[in-house]
Structures are given as structure tokens and as C-alpha cells.
Amino acid sequence: MTEPGSTLAAVLDVSVLIRGVLSRHGASGEVLQHLKSRRFTSFTCRQHLLEFHRALGYRRIRERCGLTEQHRRRLVAQLYARSVVLHFPPGPPLCRDPKDDYLVHLAVAAG
């Protein structure tokens, strides 16, 4: 289900996205740069986008980056625009932390 010409596909954990926003240097920053240049296909879903928006709203992150609500929405919109958005029904519990189950189901849905 990857885009033509793309050899890599990924579901990015929100912590990777946040670290990339906090610093453009390092592995997470590189991942975001590759996402922006579409060097791989990113998969997301509504729950993933909501979690990213929520995490961007944590006080320490807002203060460190000077993020306003408009900035947060723009970052989520960029992830949405650069990703394949999948819709799938909830699946059975799989993870020790049930809040992470959707990530596994998203990866499975992405193929």
C-alpha cells in the first residue's frame, strides 16, 4: 500500500514526531525531514492525529517550542497531508498498554 516509487512505509510513534518537533537535529528530526520530502509513506488515522495534537499541547512542549493552538493545528494538518489516512474498525486488545493498541491495528491496516 506504499505510494509509487516509495520503498518504505511507516507508522510513526507520536514520541518520534514530538522529538522531531522539539529538535530538527538527531534521528527524529531527520525522520520529519524525510516525511516532509516524502522519502517514505507515512500512515496515520484519526486517533493518531488526535494523540499528536494532544501531546503538542503538553505545557512543557508548548513552552519549549512556543507553540500556539494555531501552530499545533498546522503541525497536525501537515502530518495529515503527508500521510495516508486509514480508517479501520477497533480490534482486539494486543498491547500491555491498551492506549497503544490502535498503533498496532494501524500498522496491520497499512499492510
CA separation for the pair 44, 102 (Å, rounded): 10
pTM exceeds 0.85, yes or no: yes
Residues 71-101: tens digit of each pLDDT = 999 999 999 999 999 998 888 888 888 888 9
Inform me whether the pLDDT recorded for 2 exceeds 70: no
Q: Would you place residue 5 in the very low, low, confident or very high pLDDT band (cuts 50, 70, 90)?
A: low
Q: CA of 98: how far to CAs of 4, 23, 105, in Å?
A: 34, 29, 11
Residues β-bridged to residue 9: 41
Give the pLDDT confidence of 15-72 residue by residue, as tens digits: 999 999 999 889 999 999 999 999 999 999 999 999 999 999 999 999 998 999 999 9
